[in-house]
Copies of this chain bind each other. A is one copy, B any other.
Amino acid sequence: MQKITIKEIAKLTNTSVNTVSRALNYKDGVSKDTRELIEKVALKEGYRPNLLARSMRGLHTNLIGILVGEISNSFYTRILDGANEIANQEAMSLLIGSSDEHKEKELKQIDTFLSYRCSGIAVCLIDPASEIIATLKEEDVNFVVLDVSPSKNIDCGLICIDNERDSFLSVEELIKNGHRRIAILIPELLWKNECNRYMGYKRALFSYGIEEDPELVITCHSKDDAYRATIQLLGKKNRPTALYIAKQSFGLSVISALMAKDVRIPENISILMYGDPDWASILHPRITCMRRQAREMGRLGIKMLIDRIKGDGLEQKRKIVLDSKLMIRESVQRIKQAGAC
């Protein structure tokens, strides 16, 4: 497999491994002639440094482990994309892992990253109270947490999004358009982010003096379930005028359900979604969304990680909260509402 090592190059050039190593790593202490000779031979023989061996000498590995919740979820895909962009620029390689939103897999993947002695680890955790952060701390490895901020105030790099505020602003947008019967669709198991979205929903209702109707809080545990839940919601007599989809991956299910039932957006029901996948702006009507800066999260996360790895003495940023942007499109209808607003 390995074709040629520095040892062999040393032999071929009548030099020593040390000289070859220095020459190939652009260090000084090598004469021009020797350097050129070595480079020529290395090129000719197709020498390729063994990064494993290099890393074993205690340096960094140039490996960054990144854990996401689900590879084919476009939110995570964008994080991955941004992460890869920066990693590439910095000549780092990305080892990926997916937790599929299961805690055991999460731990297992981190374990693998650690076993490969990654120089840095970026994680999207489902549960921020997770012992994973403790593990990471203990291992004394550079890491940053993306997307979900740890509940305890742990000193680590953090790039997150204010889900509560985003949600508040989203629901507020619906209210400002005259809606008062606003349903929210959220996952059954409320992890921190989702929980915060729910809080934002509640706070918005409260701020505008709207009483929360438990019937309008729709929880579901899967995409299929979101479809069923939507169908069921539409069957109710006192149907909401607006639906806030608090989890992007449920979006397709909801839209499909509405299509199946011939419920028109926004005439029959207004829709606002958390997250802004590609399709949201090509649907007819285009869906009003709260757009998160996912790609930027990946970029900043890896940037922060690399800064930490290089540890260039500077006081490092600990936490970045990314702004989201409400993309106002045509899925929310302005309605007249009897009563004050």
User: In the complex, are the beta carbons of B284 and A256 less than 8 A apart?
Assistant: no
Residues of the B chain whose Cβ atoms lie less than 8 Å from the Cβ of A46: 138
User: In the complex, are the beta carbons of A98 and B84 less than 8 A apart?
Assistant: yes
User: In the complex, are the beta carbons of B284 and A52 less than 8 A apart?
Assistant: no
Could you tell me the distance between the alpha carbons of A94 and B63 in the complex, rounded to whole angstroms?
Answer: 12
Q: How many residues of A contact B (CB 8 A)?
A: 52
Residues of the B chain whose Cβ atoms lie less than 8 Å from the Cβ of A93: 95, 97, 112, 116
Tell me if A236 is interfacial: C-beta within 8 Å of chain B.
no
Tell me if A129 is interfacial: C-beta within 8 Å of chain B.
no
Interface-central residue, A49, A52, A53, by most chain B CB under 10 Å: A52
CB contacts under 8 Å to B, within A107-148, are 111-112, 114-117, 138-141
Instruction: Produce 1/0 per residue, A250-261, CB < 8 A to B.
Output: 001001100100
Tell me if A3 is interfacial: C-beta within 8 Å of chain B.
yes
Q: Nearest-CB distance from A79 to chain B (Å)?
A: 10
Residues of the B chain whose Cβ atoms lie less than 8 Å from the Cβ of A177: none
Interface residues of A (CB under 8 A from B): 1-3, 46, 48-53, 55-56, 61, 63, 71-72, 74, 77-78, 80-81, 84, 88, 93-98, 105, 111-112, 114-117, 138-141, 252, 255-256, 259, 277-279, 281-284, 295
Instruction: Taking A50-B56, A256-B281 as given, write out 13 further A-B residue pairs in contact, using a Cβ cutoff of 8 Å, ordered by the A residue number.
Output: A52-B55, A52-B61, A56-B56, A71-B80, A72-B74, A72-B77, A72-B80, A88-B98, A94-B96, A94-B97, A282-B283, A283-B283, A283-B284
